[in-house]
Amino acid sequence: MADASTPPSTDGPFVRRVLITVSIVAAFGLVFWLLRLAGHGLLIVIAGAIIAVLVDGAVRRIPLPRIPAMIVLLVVSLAIAAGLSWWMGAAFVEQMEGIRTRAIEALPRIQAWLSENPAGQRVVAELEQIEWSEQSGRVGGVVFAAAGGLATMVLIPVFGIFFALAPKLYLGAFLHLLPMGRRARVDEVLGHVGHALRAWFMGRFVSMTVVGVGTGLALWAAGVPMPAALGLIAAVLSFVPNVGPPLAAIPGVLVGLSQSPTTAAWAVAAYVGVQAIDNYLVTPLVDQRSVDVPPATQLGAQLLLGLAAGAIGVFLATPLMIVLIVMVQAFYVQDALHDPVRLLGAPREGPRRRPKWLERIRPTPRVAAGSSQSRPHR
């Protein structure tokens, strides 16, 4: 008989966490293997399904039947896009061309800076030994890749619209492949997956807006040319966590360097400052209402899917990871281990936790135990 004073074993929670991690890795390995087999086409279909989930969330907020609501959403979206193109489309195209020209002008400055130290001289020497004439034969491959990228940009919205027009048709066909006793549970979990994806996208949208506007204003204040286009690039690339912000800073720094090293330094400071505000001020507030995926998990998913499918894999890495995490939590942790864990993206019970920086500035007031404010509202 065990001693009553013996503390309870803590191996159970640890084992559960290990099993959860192994399950997520195994599920992602399966996805990686499928992507290596099916490649680009499978990701296009998956991206279309994710778009359909987002569109479905917007359509549900329109007090109309699904088909008229879809028509209204498409017409409004196209009208907004056409209006923005007519208002500032020409200016953005001109600024984008200016960014390309300025970046090319900055390359000799970078080469001269590299030539000032031995390590940089070796890099320049290696670049000069490249037979650029051999690259001319790859023009056909570049054109083919551009055509494939354009086709991808067209096919993803098309799949998304078709999925969103009749979601019950496709979902019902999938559920009929499962045993009768599991259909209700799978349907419930897919609903949680859709909620998590929509919450994550709203968080990304807020972050993209802050990064785009903040970067544009900061670069304008720093005297960097074409700040509006650079802010748009920063907003679009910030959709991809971890990888997007460093890539977005490259054209801005090159444009600043084409003007002067001081301007380039101010551009670096602008990008770093905006990212600091987003990471430590905006993201903690947004994550309370959206989905917070651990950075290491995101980076690992981006690395694996980038190796498997290229740029589109990097863009879809985080949404796919969210889908896998919710499914593992529901089917394995809750159903198999009987652990009532809160699903990723599910509403938190009780008061929301405030960010640490806000707690330092304005601590949460403590309420006496017997006061009326401490009693739950009915």
- Mean pLDDT for the stretch of residues 28-38: 68
Single out the residue of 51, 305, 67 nearest to residue 154, CA to CA. 51
Contacts by 334-339, CB closer than 8 A, 24 or more apart: 335/185, 337/16, 337/19, 339/16
**Token pair recorded at residue 195:** 């909620």
**Mean pLDDT (whole number) for 323-337:** 86
Rounded distance between C-alpha atoms, residue 4 and residue 159, angstroms: 62
What confidence tier does 214 reach under pLDDT thresholds 50, 70, 90?
very high
Q: What is the pLDDT of residue 88?
A: 66
Per-residue pLDDT at 13 = 65
pLDDT at position 125 is 63
pLDDT level of residue 256 (50, 70, 90 thresholds): confident
Question: What is the reported pLDDT for 377?
Answer: 43
Pairwise pLDDT comparison (10 vs 285), residue with the higher score? 285
Q: Which of 61-65, 145-149, 332-336 has the lowest mean pLDDT?
A: 145-149
pTM of the model: 0.71
Contact 354, 287 (CB under 8 A): no
User: Rounded mean pLDDT of the chain?
Assistant: 76
Give the mean model confidence (pLDDT) for residues 353-368.
52
Q: CB–CB of 317/204 below 8 Å?
A: no
Whole-Å CA distances, 255 to 95, 98, 357: 11, 9, 34
Where residue 269 falls among pLDDT bands split at 50, 70, 90? very high
| Nearest to 166, CA basis, from 43, 17, 59 | 59
pLDDT at 283 (0 to 100): 76
Residue 355 has pLDDT above 70, yes or no: no
- Averaged pLDDT for residues 1-15: 55
- Helices 139-165, 66-114: inter-axial angle, 10-degree rounding: 150
| DSSP type of residue 62 | S
Q: Mark residue 364 as left, alpha or beta (left: phi above 0; alpha: psi -120 to 50; beta: remaining).
A: beta
Hey, where are the domains in the chain? 22-117+156-344
φ, ψ (nearest 5 deg) of residue 131: -85, 95
Q: How far apart are CA 47 and CA 42, in angstroms?
A: 9
Top mean pLDDT of 91-100, 104-113, 203-212 is at 203-212
Mean pLDDT (whole number) for 206-228: 89
**Residue bearing tokens 């404010």:** 373
Residues near 323 by beta carbon (within 8 Å), at least 6 away in sequence: 193, 196, 197
